[in-house]
C-alpha cells in the first residue's frame, strides 16, 4: 500500500510542479537552518564531556559581594588556596590540584647545540593530582614524574612539532624563558577542542614561582584549582565547611565579602561570569535563543506548507470525491496525503543537506569552531535529521490531510467546496503567528544593529586608534633594555608616542586589590590598578581633570586616580584629593598627584571601576606605540625589526588596540549576524506563505471577482478588497509581536551598563517593513486575479 501511495504521491507532486517547488524550497531552507543550528548547539553541548569522574569534578572559583551591588566574579583563586583546601577538606575531597596559566619562549637545539626552534607558547603549571582528577589518555610516561621539578608533559601534537615524532619525545628537553631546561617525561593524547583545559605544554608545578604563593589577598584569573569529590558526598555538604574555611583564612577587614564556590565541570563552558583557559564561553541563554530561533524557522516553514496545501485542496476536491465514491476510507486518504507530505519532506531534507554543507564553512568562520556535518563521526546528527523529517511531515501534512479527507464526496464531485472549507479562520491565525515571529525578529535585528553602532561610536574616554600593543619580556635582564627599545622606537618617523604598561586603559586583564585612603581603614571595595610609565596618558589620550600625570619612576611612588574612585570615596572636588596618601595592597603608599577623567576600563557591559594608575617597571608586559595613521604598515615593520634586534632571544608579538576592543563584542556581532540571516529567511518563507494564502483566496473568490468586474468594479478596487484582510492580519501580528519583542530586547539590553534608549522607531519600522512585504506579495497575486478574463470564470455557471 505504501508503494502505491508513494507512486500516486510522486505523480501528484509532478503534476503540481509550482506548488511542489515552493513547498520544497520553503521546507529545505527551514530544515537547513535547523540542521546548522543543531550542529552548532550539539558541538557546544559536548564541552567537557566524556571524563570518567565528570560528575564529581568541580572547579573552585571566587566571588565578591559588594554593598553597591557591583559584584565581581573570577575563575581564579588565591595561590595558597589549593594546599589549604587539600588540608581542610580532606574528608570530602579525593583529589585537589592547582593549575597555573603562563606563557613564554621555548627553544629547542639540535644535536650540535644549534638553535633549531624558537617559539612563544602558552604553558600550564600543573600538579600531578590533576591527572587523577581528569583521565587523559597517556601515550608515554605518567603523571607521577611531574612530582620532580624541571619536568614537562607534552600533547601528541606538540611533541610531534617539537621533536618530529612523539615516540621520540620522552627523554628530550627544551629551554623555557632562557632559564630552565625541562625534560619531557610523558606524552598525552591531544585534548579535544571542546575542552575548557587545552593541555599542550604542562610544566611541573614545583617550578612555578610567585611572590603571592602565600598571599590570600591576591587573585589572578590564571590561577585555578580543581577538586574531585569523594563518592557518597553531595557538593552541598561542603557549604558549612566552606564558611569555616572563609572565616579561617579571610579577615573582616577585606573589601567586599569574598567567598569561593565549587563550580561543576559541566557548567564551566556556559557560565559567562567566569572564564577558562580555552577562552571559550557560550552562555546558555544564547544557546536557548538559537533553539528558539530554530523552532521559529521550522514553524514558519510548516505554516507555509499548511497554507499552500489548503490552497490546493479545492483544486483536488474532485479527485477526493472520486476516491471516496470508489470506496476509499478516510484513513486511507489521510495516509495518501501524509505520504505526499513525507515525500516532499524527504526531498527537502536532501536539498537541506546540500545547503548545510555549503553554509558550513561560513558558520565555522562565524563561530570560530571546527564543527562537522559528518554523520559518520556524529550519528546523533543523522538521528536529528530523521526526527526532524518525521516531525515536519506530520506537523505540515496532518491538518491538510484531515481537511481534504473530510470533504463530502457529493459536493466535491460537483465542485461545490466552499471558501471556508477547512477553517479559513485557522489559516488566518497561522498567518498572524507567522508574521508575529517575523516582526519579533525584525525588531530584535534593528535593536541589535543600533546597540552595536552605539558601542562603536560611544566615547570610551581615550583614543584607541592607531595604537599597537607590543609584548615585551618582563624578566630582570630584559627590563634593563626597556630604555633602549623605547628610544629607538621614538626615533621612528611614524611614531607619535610610546609608553610601557601592564595593560591598555581598556583591557580584560584587570587586577583588583585592597587599598586605604588618607590614613583610614581599608575601603569596602576593591581598587583596579594599572601599571604604566609617565607617557601613558599622552599615548592613550587620557584627559586630566586635576593635578598632573605621573613623573618618571621605576617603582611605585605616587598615584593618579579616576573620578569614579573619588565618587565612591565621597570626594566631591577632585582637587581635594591631590596630596592625599593612598596605600595599596598594604605594601605601597604614596600621594595622589592627579585625577584622570573616567574611561571605560572594561567592556561597555560593565560599569567603570575605581582605578589607580602607578609606575612599576617590573610589572610591565607591553609597550604601547601611538602611530601616524598614514604610515601604520611601514611603522609596524620598523617596530618589529627594532624589537628583534633588542630581544633576539625572544619572539615578537603585537596587536592593534582597536581590534582588541572590537573583539570584546564578538558574541553580540554573532547574534546580530544570526538575526539578520534568520530574519531574512523567515521573511522569505512568510512571503511564500502569504502567496499561498492569497492564491487560495483568489481561487475561491474567482467568480465573485468576475461578477464585481461585470458590475463595474475597477482593478484597483478589486485589489484593495483582496488586500484588506491580509493587511489587517499583519497589523494584528504587529500588535501581538510588539510586547513580546519589547520583553526580549529589554532583557538583552540589560546586559550592558551602557546601552541605547529603547525607542518606538524599531517597532514602527518593523511594522512598515512587514506591511510593505504584505502589500507587495498580496498585490502581485491580487492583480493577477483582478485582471483575469471574466468569461473564463463565469462560462460554467
**Residues linked to residue 260 through DSSP beta bridges, in sequence order:** 62
Highest mean pLDDT: which of 300-314, 371-385, 524-538?
524-538
CB 256 within 8 A of CB 524: yes
Q: How far apart are CA 13 and CA 204, in angstroms?
A: 68
Q: How confident is the model at residue 423 (pLDDT cuts 50, 70, 90)?
A: very low
Look at residue 341 in the predicted model and tell me its pLDDT: 78
What pLDDT does 16 receive?
A: 60
Per-residue pLDDT at 384:
87
pLDDT surpassing 80 at residue 578: yes
Taking the mean position of all CA atoms in its chain, how far away is CA 416? 56
How do residues 97-139 score in pLDDT, each as one tens digit? Answer: 999 998 888 999 887 778 888 898 899 999 999 999 999 999 9
pLDDT at residue 377 greater than cutoff 80? no
Q: How confident is the model at residue 531 (pLDDT cuts 50, 70, 90)?
A: very high
Predicted local distance difference test score (pLDDT) of residue 369: 65
Q: What was the pLDDT predicted at 535?
A: 95
Among the listed residues 443, 435, 401, 439, the one whose alpha carbon sits nearest the alpha carbon of residue 303: 435
Each residue's pLDDT tens digit, 20-40? 677 777 788 888 888 888 888
More confident residue, 15 or 149: 149
Whether the predicted pLDDT of 204 surpasses 90: yes
Q: Is the pLDDT of residue 82 over 90?
A: yes
Q: 699 pLDDT exceeds 70?
A: no
What share of the chain in percent tops pLDDT 90?
A: 32
Cell numbers at 685, concatenated: 518563507
Mean pLDDT over residues 459-475, rounded? 89
pLDDT confidence of residue 586: 73
Which of the pair, 289 or 543, is modelled with greater confidence? Answer: 543
Q: What is the pLDDT confidence band of residue 560, given thresholds at 50, 70 and 90?
A: very high
Q: What is the C-alpha to C-alpha distance for residues 624 and 787, in angstroms, rounded to an integer? A: 71
Q: Which three cell numbers stand for residue 301?
A: 516553514
Per-residue pLDDT at 254 exceeds 60: no
Q: Report, as an integer, the average pLDDT of 410-422.
A: 51
Helix or strand (DSSP H, E) at 101: strand 93-109
**Taking phi first (over 0 means left), then psi (-120 to 50 degrees means alpha), and beta for anything else, what does residue 292 get?**
alpha
398: CB partners within 8 A, 6+ apart: 334, 338
Between 418 and 289, residue with greater pLDDT = 289
Q: Which pLDDT value is given to residue 777? A: 77
Find where cell 555549503 sits. 358
Report residue 282's pLDDT band, with 50, 70 and 90 as the boundaries: confident
Pairing of strands 588-596, 559-562: parallel
Whether residue 765 is predicted with pLDDT greater than 80 in this model: the reply is yes
pLDDT tens-place string over residues 702-739: 677 677 777 777 777 777 777 777 788 888 989 999 99
CA distance 161 to 117: 10
DSSP 266: G
Lowest mean pLDDT segment, chosen from 112-126, 250-264, 357-371, 379-393:
250-264
Among 173-182, 289-298, 488-497, 532-541, name the one with the lowest average pLDDT. 289-298
Give the residue with greater pLDDT, 648 vs 327: 648
Give the pLDDT score at 796: 47
Average confidence (pLDDT) over 763-767: 91
Place of cell 502581485: 780
Q: Which three cell numbers stand for residue 596?
A: 584622570
> 402 CB contacts (<8 Å, ≥6 apart)?
334
pLDDT of residue 421: 45
Under 8 Å between Cβ of 795 and 704: no
User: What's the rounded Cα separation, in Å, for the pair 96 and 83?
Assistant: 8
Coil/strand/helix, residue 541: coil
> Is the model's pLDDT at 410 over the cut of 60?
no
Tell me the pLDDT tens digit for each residue of 653-668: 899 988 888 877 777 7
Q: Is the pLDDT of residue 499 over 90?
A: yes
Inter-axis angle of helices 702-710 and 761-786, nearest 10: 70
Residue 728: CA count within 13 A, CB half-sphere: 8
Q: What is the pLDDT of the chain when averaged over all its residues?
A: 83
Question: What is the 3-class SS of 355-371, one letter each residue?
Answer: HHHHHHHHHHHHHCCCC
Q: How confident is the model at residue 444 (pLDDT cuts 50, 70, 90)?
A: confident
Amino acid at each position: 500500500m505504501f508503494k502505491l501511495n508513494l507512486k500516486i504521491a510522486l505523480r501528484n507532486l509532478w503534476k503540481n510542479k509550482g506548488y511542489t517547488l515552493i513547498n520544497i524550497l520553503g521546507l529545505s531552507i527551514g530544515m537547513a537552518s535547523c540542521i546548522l543550528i543543531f550542529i552548532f548547539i550539539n558541538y557546544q553541548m559536548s564541552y567537557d564531556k566524556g571524563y570518567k569522574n565528570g560528575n564529581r569534578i568541580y572547579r573552585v572559583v571566587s566571588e565578591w559581594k559588594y554593598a553597591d551591588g557591583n559584584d565581581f566574579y573570577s575563575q581564579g583563586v588565591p595561590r595558597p588556596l589549593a594546599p589549604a583546601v587539600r588540608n581542610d577538606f580532606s574528608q570530602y575531597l579525593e583529589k585537589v590540584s592547582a593549575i597555573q596559566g603562563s606563557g613564554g619562549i621555548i627553544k629547542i637545539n639540535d644535536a650540535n647545540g644549534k638553535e633549531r626552534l624558537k617559539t612563544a607558547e602558552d604553558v600550564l603549571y600543573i600538579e600531578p593530582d590533576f591527572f587523577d582528577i581528569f583521565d587523559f589518555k597517556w601515550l608515554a610516561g605518567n603523571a607521577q614524574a611531574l612530582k620532580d621539578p624541571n619536568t614537562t608533559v607534552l600533547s601528541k601534537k606538540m611533541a610531534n612539532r617539537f621533536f618530529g615524532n612523539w615516540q621520540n619525545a620522552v627523554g628530550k628537553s627544551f629551554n623555557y624563558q632562557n632559564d630552565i631546561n625541562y625534560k619531557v617525561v610523558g606524552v598525552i593524547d591531544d585534548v579535544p577542542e571542546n575542552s575548557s583545559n587545552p593541555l599542550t605544554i604542562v610544566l611541573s608545578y614545583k617550578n612555578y614561582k610567585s611572590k603571592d604563593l602565600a598571599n590570600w589577598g591576591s587573585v589572578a584569573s590564571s590561577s585555578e584549582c580543581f577538586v574531585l569529590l569523594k563518592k557518597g558526598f553531595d557538593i552541598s555538604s561542603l557549604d558549612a565547611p566552606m564558611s569555616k574555611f572563609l572565616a579561617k583564612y579571610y579577615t573582616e577587614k577585606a573589601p567586599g565579602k569574598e567567598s569561593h564556590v565549587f563550580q561543576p565541570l559541566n557548567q564551566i563552558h556556559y557560565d559567562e561570569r567566569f572564564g577558562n583557559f580555552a577562552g571559550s564561553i557560550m552562555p546558555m541563554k544564547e544557546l536557548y535563543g538559537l533553539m528558539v530561533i530554530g523552532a521559529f524557522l521550522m514553524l514558519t516553514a510548516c505554516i507555509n506548507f499548511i497554507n499552500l496545501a489548503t490552497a490546493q485542496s479545492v483544486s483536488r476536491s474532485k479527485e477526493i470525491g472520486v476516491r471516496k465514491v470508489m470506496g476509499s476510507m478516510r484513513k486511507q486518504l489521510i495516509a495518501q496525503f501524509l505520504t505526499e507530505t513525507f515525500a516532499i519532506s524527504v526531498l527537502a531534507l536532501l536539498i537541506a543537506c546540500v545547503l548545510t554543507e555549503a553554509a558550513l564553512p561560513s558558520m565555522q568562520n562565524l563561530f570560530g569552531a571546527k564543527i562537522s556535518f559528518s554523520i559518520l563521526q556524529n550519528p546523533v546528527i543523522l538521528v536529528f535529521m530523521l526526527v526532524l523529517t518525521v516531525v515536519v511531515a506530520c506537523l505540515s501534512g496532518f491538518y491538510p490531510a484531515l481537511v481534504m479527507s473530510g470533504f463530502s464526496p457529493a459536493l466535491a464531485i460537483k465542485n461545490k467546496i466552499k471558501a471556508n472549507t477547512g477553517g479559513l479562520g485557522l489559516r488566518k491565525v497561522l498567518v498572524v503567528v507567522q508574521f508575529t515571529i517575523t516582526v519579533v525578529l525584525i525588531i530584535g535585528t534593528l535593536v541589535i544593529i543600533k546597540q552595536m553602532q552605539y558601542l562603536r561610536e560611544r566615547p570610551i574616554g581615550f583614543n584607541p586608534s592607531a595604537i599597537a600593543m607590543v609584548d615585551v619580556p618582563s624578566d630582570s635582564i630584559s627590563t634593563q633594555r626597556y630604555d633602549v627599545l623605547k628610544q629607538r622606537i621614538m626615533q621612528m618617523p611614524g611614531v607619535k608616542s610610546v609608553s610601557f604598561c601592564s595593560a591598555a586603559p581598556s583591557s580584560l586583564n584587570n587586577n583588583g586589590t585592597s587599598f586605604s585612603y588618607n590614613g583610614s581603614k581599608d575601603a569596602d571595595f576593591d581598587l583596579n590598578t594599572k601599571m604604566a610609565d609617565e607617557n601613558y596618558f599622552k599615548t592613550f589620550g587620557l584627559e586630566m581633570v586635576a593635578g598632573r600625570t605621573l613623573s618618571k619612576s621605576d617603582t611605585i611612588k605616587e598615584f593618579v586616580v579616576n573620578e569614579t574612585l573619588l565618587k565612591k570615596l565621597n570626594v566631591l572636588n577632585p582637587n581635594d584629593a591631590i596630596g592625599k596618601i593612598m596605600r595599596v595592597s598594604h605594601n605601597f603608599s604614596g600621594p595622589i598627584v592627579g585625577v584622570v577623567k573616567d574611561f571605560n576600563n572594561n567592556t561597555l557591559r560593565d560599569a567603570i571601576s575605581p582605578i589607580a594608575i602607578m609606575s612599576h617597571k617590573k610589572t610591565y608586559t607591553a609597550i604601547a606605540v601611538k602611530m601616524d595613521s598614514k604610515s601604520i604598515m611601514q611603522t609596524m615593520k620598523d617596530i618589529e625589526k627594532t624589537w628583534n634586534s633588542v630581544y633576539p632571544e625572544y619572539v615578537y608579538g603585537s596587536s592593534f588596540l582597536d581590534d582588541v576592543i572590537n573583539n570584546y563584542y564578538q558574541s553580540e556581532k554573532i547574534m546580530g549576524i544570526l538575526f539578520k540571516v534568520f530574519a531574512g529567511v523567515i521573511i522569505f518563507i512568510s512571503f511564500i506563505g502569504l502567496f499561498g494564502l492569497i492564491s487560495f483566496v483568489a481561487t475561491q473568490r474567482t467568480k465573485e471577482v468576475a461578477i464585481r468586474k461585470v458590475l463595474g468594479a475597477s482593478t484597483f478596487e478589486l485589489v484593495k478588497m483582496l488586500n484588506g484582510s491580509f493587511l489587517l492580519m499583519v497589523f494584528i501580528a504587529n500588535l501581538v509581536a510588539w510586547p513580546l519583542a519589547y520583553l526580549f530586547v529589554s532583557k538583552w539590553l540589560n546586559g550592558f551598563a551602557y546601552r541605547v534608549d529603547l525607542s518606538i522607531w524599531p517597532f514602527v519600522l518593523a511594522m512598515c517593513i512587514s506591511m510593505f512585504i504584505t502589500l507587495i506579495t498580496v498585490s502581485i497575486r491580487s492583480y493577477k486575479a483582478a485582471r483575469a478574463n471574466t468569461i473564463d470564470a463565469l462560462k460554467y455557471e
